[in-house]
Amino acid sequence: MAKPDNRSDNVEHLQQSIQNTLENLHEAEDYLNEFGSEISSNEQEQIQEKNERRKESIRGFREEVKDEAKHSGK
């Protein structure tokens, strides 16, 4: 038997994911600012690309939060 869909804490989990992703994004930016001149351009590019993916993830998480808010209001 399938488990029922318990969405009661989805927003909390999404907000935690947003917070964690923001922290990782800022740590990577700080790393680039501090050590950018000491690392290869390839490594810099990889970090910047990963940060772009993090920004996309954050946008997606925020959309999911909006969706959850709509569904919980019904």
12-51 residue pLDDT tens: 999 999 999 999 999 999 999 999 999 999 999 999 999 9
Would 36 be classed as within a structural domain? Answer: yes
pLDDT at res. 44 = 97
Largest CA distance in the chain: 57
Would 9 be classed as within a structural domain? Answer: no
What total of structural domains would you count in the chain? 1
Instruction: Retrieve residue 26's tokens.
Output: 């800022």
- Residues 65, 11: contact at Cβ < 8 Å? yes
Would 3 be classed as within a structural domain? Answer: no
Would 5 be classed as within a structural domain? Answer: no
Would 21 be classed as within a structural domain? Answer: yes
pLDDT exceeds 80 at position 66:
yes
Residues in the chain: 74
Considering only residues 49 and 2, tell me which one the structure prediction assigns the higher pLDDT. Answer: 49
What's this model's pTM, rounded to 2 decimal places? 0.83
Would 7 be classed as within a structural domain? Answer: no
Structural domain containing residue 30: 14-72
If you average pLDDT over residues 53-68, what whole number do you get?
96
